[in-house]
Structure 1
């Protein structure tokens, strides 16, 4: 399987108020992603059990070019700039798809 490019991003937030503001920022950003990014196949924010100040994003793109197009969008650039005030830490893991039935159907 050569198609599919993804990443997992783990955000650690500064506190409860930061988490609330970060979540609202994510909702605003998703509106642009849904409307303008056909190459973005999945963009999901998760709260790990027992870690209320952590958000884990799973992002899946049709290919690396779709990811780069996502990064260039005004709503993404605004997200990247605004998010910093809410964060204590960010960890990014890039993923290259090798197999998977769900990814094959997308």
Structure 2
């Protein structure tokens, strides 16, 4: 498994709405075309209306790289900076879990 968390801080409320629409389009592409993407969950943050957090789990690193090559992902990556004031990516090593596939 390969997993990551991304936090986006958005510029303002109007741009947050546009970002959310961009995300919805992107997630639709992920659902339709990415069998190796096991979890792609986007979240708002309580009491932080301009923050978004994505939790992503891929079958393996190759599935993540395939995700990065997809047209819908490339479109998201090319457009997101119009809305984002800052972002932070954390790559994760899964440990104890419920609901995620186990190896072996």
* TM category, shorter: over 0.9
- C-alpha root-mean-square deviation of aligned residues, in Å? 1.0
Greater helix content: 1
Q: What CA distance in whole angstroms lies between the structure 1 residues aligned with 2:72 and 2:49?
A: 25
Pairing partner for 2:32 from 32, 35, 51 = 35
Give the structure-1-normalised TM-score. 0.92
CA distance in 2, matches of 1:9, 1:41: 16
Please state which structure has a larger fraction of its residues in strand: 2
Gap regions ≥5 residues in structure 2:
none
CA distance in 2, matches of 1:77, 1:65: 16
1:68 to 50, 57, 65: 65
The normalised TM-score by structure 2 is: 0.94
**Unmatched tracts of structure 1, length 5 or more:** none
